[in-house]
């Protein structure tokens, strides 16, 4: 795409698009509290803490990268899941480097990524009053409710443009298209004429920003159909399946009955509802084992739940890969998470169960509507489904995922990494 810049207010609106969406505004207060407190004074306290610890702290933090970033293919990550989605490119290409923002938390991979300095980010906070007033006019109460996110987003774009001019990367490959720092780097790349590519790392939603990379490698038709609903699709698009699943697709679960059940949760799932569900299942189905896996970014204290349910097993998502977790189980219970798709690909019996009472977030990814997984609307329905799977679990559940994974059932099944590398190499030429 040709170099393109946006005015300040339009740029911040683009960067924060998901934050101002209807879906984001409807997230339950308890789930949102750990991300953005409802009390404005607490939001302000968090902003001041961010300014003191992160912004000022960046000035004194020494950055010594393991690799030279000049002229390389940048693999930009904002989480451990992003790292898992892009690391195969690093392994295959000597000109590729993994990197993240200066203080970005990428979990267990923190020491394995290079860092982009954000010291100069502090210089751009004079923009905040201008942007805040402008967004108040266009977004109303949502700008006030999320003024902390507006504050955090300031300065990324300018700092990243400077970094791009300094290092002149050959291209930047993303695996996230909606975080504030990610979108800032994408817009900076457009302004500086740096080519961009995108590899999908999880299921997408129709609330995401329009697809706007030079090359987009999507998992399947589902992702492309959803992005078309988000807006005009720009650049070249190829369907390559799920590269991060290659090593696991040859080891599908062929057990004919369910004995081990995993539960995946995130901040959208209230702890009291999780406790009620787990207590019920452990008592109603004592012959089954249950394992809870909180999302790696979930900051809540699960200590009381551990104490209350000693028979419950646990998976540490910061240490255990999601596919390794799924391989230890025969079934999965979760609400809105792309782990349902990964479970189905491995032939687990996956069940959608919404712990939250928030009706506005129901089947967020459309898995139930598309027939990928079963749904239970009550604890009694959930129990009956598990009893059915105890008696018999089909060995061809994975076939349901063909709409989501373009290589499933083709000669490229399990070869998504090679396919993605082919398209990337062809594109870079």
Please tell me the total count of domains within the chain: 2
Tell the residue number behind the tokens 């939250």, with chain if given.
Answer: 356
Q: Within this chain, do residues 341 and 225 fall inside the same structural domain, yes or no?
A: no
Tell the residue number behind the tokens 């004592």, with chain if given.
Answer: 286
Q: Within this chain, do residues 222 and 316 fall inside the same structural domain, yes or no?
A: no
Length of the chain, please? 429
Q: Where residue 140 sits, what CATH number does that domain have?
A: 3.40.50.11720
Boundary residue ending a domain (245, 275, 294): 245
41 within domain boundaries: yes
* CA distance linking residue 342 with residue 321, whole number of Å: 12
420 within domain boundaries: no
1 within domain boundaries: no
Q: Within this chain, do residues 240 and 293 fall inside the same structural domain, yes or no?
A: no
pLDDT at 268: 85
425 within domain boundaries: no
411 within domain boundaries: no
Q: Within this chain, do residues 276 and 240 fall inside the same structural domain, yes or no?
A: no
| Residues in contact with 75: Cβ distance below 8 Å, sequence separation at least 6, in sequence order | 86, 87, 89, 90, 96, 97, 98, 99, 173, 175
User: Nearest-5° angle of CA 16, CA 18, CA 22?
Assistant: 125
pLDDT at 110: 85
Question: What HEC string does the chain produce?
Answer: CCCCCCCHHHHHHHHCCHHHCHHHHCCCHHHHCCCCCCCHHHHHHHHHHHHHHHHHHHHHCCCCCCCCCCCCEEEECCCHHHHHHHHHHHHHCCCEEEEEECCCCCHHHHHHCEEECCHHHHHHCCHHHHHHHHHHHHHCHHHHHCHHHHHHHCCHHHHHHHHHHHHCCCEEEECCCCCHHHHHHHHHHHHHCCCEEEECCCCCCCCCCCCEEEEEEECCHHHHHHHHHHCCCEEEEEECCCHHHCCCCCCCCCCCCCCEEEEEECCCCCHHHHHHHHHHHHHHCCCCEEEEEECCCCCCCCHHHHHHCCCCEECCCCCCCHHHHHHCCCEEEECCCCHHHHHHHCCCEEEECCCCCCCCCCCCCCCCCCCCCEECCCHHHHHHHHHHHHHCCCCCHHHHHHHCCCCCCCCCCCCHHHHHHHHHHHHHC
2 within domain boundaries: no
| Domain, as residue range, for 100 | 8-245
* CA distance linking residue 169 with residue 189, whole number of Å: 10
* CA distance linking residue 331 with residue 345, whole number of Å: 12
Q: Tally Cβ neighbours within 10 Å of residue 129.
A: 9
Q: Within this chain, do residues 199 and 286 fall inside the same structural domain, yes or no?
A: no
Q: Within this chain, do residues 332 and 215 fall inside the same structural domain, yes or no?
A: no
352 within domain boundaries: yes
Q: Within this chain, do residues 126 and 61 fall inside the same structural domain, yes or no?
A: yes
pLDDT at 54: 75
Q: Where residue 347 sits, what CATH number does that domain have?
A: 3.40.50.2000
Tens-digit pLDDT profile for residues 93-117 = 999 999 999 988 888 888 899 999 9
Q: Within this chain, do residues 274 and 237 fall inside the same structural domain, yes or no?
A: no
Residues of the chain with pLDDT below 70 are: 1-4, 28, 30, 357-360
* CA distance linking residue 194 with residue 176, whole number of Å: 17
Q: Within this chain, do residues 132 and 41 fall inside the same structural domain, yes or no?
A: yes
pLDDT at 167: 97
Q: Which CA distances in Å does 298 have to 78, 316, 406?
A: 15, 11, 31
* CA distance linking residue 302 with residue 294, whole number of Å: 9
pLDDT at 1: 52
Q: Within this chain, do residues 121 and 37 fall inside the same structural domain, yes or no?
A: yes
Q: Within this chain, do residues 236 and 118 fall inside the same structural domain, yes or no?
A: yes
Q: Within this chain, do residues 269 and 190 fall inside the same structural domain, yes or no?
A: no
Q: Tally Cβ neighbours within 10 Å of residue 210.
A: 15
369 within domain boundaries: yes
Nearest to residue 5, comparing CAs of 188, 165, 209?
Answer: 188
**Stated pTM of the model:** 0.88
């Amino acid at each position: 795409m040709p170099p393109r810049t946006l005015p300040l207010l339009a740029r911040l609106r683009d960067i924060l698009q998901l934050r101002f969406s209807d879906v984001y505004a409807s997230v339950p207060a308890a789930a949102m509290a750990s991300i953005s407190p409802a009390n404005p004074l607490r939001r302000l306290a968090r902003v001041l803490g961010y300014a003191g610890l992160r912004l000022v702290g960046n000035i004194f933090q020494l950055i010594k990268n393991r690799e030279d970033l000049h002229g390389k293919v940048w693999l930009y990550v904002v989480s451990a899941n992003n790292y898992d989605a892009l690391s195969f490119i690093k392994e295959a290409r000597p000109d590729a480097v993994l990197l993240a923002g200066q203080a970005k938390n990428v979990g267990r991979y923190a020491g394995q990524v290079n860092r982009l300095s954000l010291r100069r980010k502090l210089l751009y906070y004079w923009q905040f009053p201008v942007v805040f007033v402008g967004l108040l006019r266009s977004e109303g109460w949502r700008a006030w409710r999320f003024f902390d996110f507006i504050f955090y987003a300031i300065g990324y774009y300018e700092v990243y443009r400077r970094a791009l001019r300094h290092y002149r990367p050959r291209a930047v490959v993303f695996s996230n298209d909606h975080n504030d720092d990610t979108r800032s780097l994408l817009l900076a790349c457009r302004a500086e004429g740096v080519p961009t590519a995108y590899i999908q790392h999880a299921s997408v939603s129709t609330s995401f920003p329009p697809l706007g990379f030079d090359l987009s490698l999507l998992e399947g038709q589902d992702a492309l159909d959803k992005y078309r609903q988000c807006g005009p699709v720009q650049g070249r698009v190829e369907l390559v399946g799920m590269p991060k699943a290659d090593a696991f697709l040859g080891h599908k679960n062929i057990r004919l009955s369910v004995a081990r059940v995993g539960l995946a949760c995130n901040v959208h799932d209230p702890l009291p509802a999780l406790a009620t569900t787990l207590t019920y299942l452990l008592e109603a189905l004592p012959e089954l084992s249950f394992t809870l896996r909180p999302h790696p970014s979930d900051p809540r204290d699960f200590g009381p739940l551990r104490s209350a349910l000693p028979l419950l097993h646990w998976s540490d998502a910061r240490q255990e890969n999601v596919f390794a977790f799924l391989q230890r189980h025969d079934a999965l219970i979760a609400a809105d998470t792309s782990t349902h798709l990964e479970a189905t690909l491995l032939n687990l019996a996956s069940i959608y169960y919404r712990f939250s009472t928030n009706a506005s977030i129901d089947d967020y990814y459309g898995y139930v509507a598309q027939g990928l997984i079963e749904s239970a609307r009550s604890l009694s329905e959930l129990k009956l489904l598990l009893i059915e799977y105890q008696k018999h679990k089909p060995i061809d559940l994975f076939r349901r995922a063909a709409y989501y994974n373009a290589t499933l059932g083709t000669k490229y099944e399990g070869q998504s990494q090679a396919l993605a590398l082919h398209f990337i190499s062809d594109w870079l030429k």
